[in-house]
């Protein structure tokens, strides 16, 4: 496995781990804030609750868009390499290991692009909310 491939996979694992720690922190802070706000939240709380919904929509739309673009790129690369290795397949009778690893790299690329926008916002929110008080 090339160092570039390991670096991309490590990056995906690091982002997923950071996301796994940031999300519960953000959720617990916001749920506590909602509980303390009661039926008539203050203006500061209303802004936070509105931002919470708007950020989710923006992050997930960015994520889906990035994943779709990366999937198109990966499909193009796989098809191009398929044609390159087509003659090799017919001459040797087996699938090239390079083509197999390219499928794995394509999947990691799509996942990595998809987790990026969600990771950025969740980690930033965890840092920001850790500095703020409930009131």
pLDDT tens digits, one per residue of 37-95: 999 999 999 999 999 999 999 999 999 999 999 999 998 988 887 777 776 666 666 66
Q: What is the pLDDT of residue 132?
A: 85
When comparing pLDDT for 17 and 6, which is higher? 17
Mean pLDDT of 90-107: 72
Q: What is the pLDDT of residue 81?
A: 78
Residue 89 to residue 58: CA distance in whole angstroms:
44
Mean pLDDT of 27-46: 92
**1 pLDDT more than 60:** no
Residue 66 to residue 63: CA distance in whole angstroms:
5
Mean predicted lDDT score pLDDT of the chain: 86
The three-state secondary structure class of 94 is coil
> How many CA atoms lie less than 13 Å away from 79 in the CB half-sphere?
6
Q: What is the pLDDT of residue 94?
A: 64
């Amino acid at each position: 496995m090339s160092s570039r491939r390991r670096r991309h996979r490590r990056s995906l694992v690091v982002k997923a781990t950071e996301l796994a720690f940031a999300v519960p922190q953000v959720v617990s802070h916001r749920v506590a804030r909602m509980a303390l706000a009661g039926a008539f939240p203050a203006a500061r709380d209303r802004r936070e609750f509105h931002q919470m919904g708007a950020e989710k929509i923006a992050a997930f739309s960015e994520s889906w868009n990035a994943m779709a673009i990366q999937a198109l790129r990966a499909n193009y690369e796989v098809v191009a390499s398929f044609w390159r290795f087509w003659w090799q397949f017919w001459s040797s009778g087996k699938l090239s290991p390079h083509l197999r690893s390219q499928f794995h790299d394509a999947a990691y690329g799509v996942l990595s692009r998809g987790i990026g926008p969600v990771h950025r916002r969740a980690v930033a929110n965890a840092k920001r909310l850790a500095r703020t008080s409930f009131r």
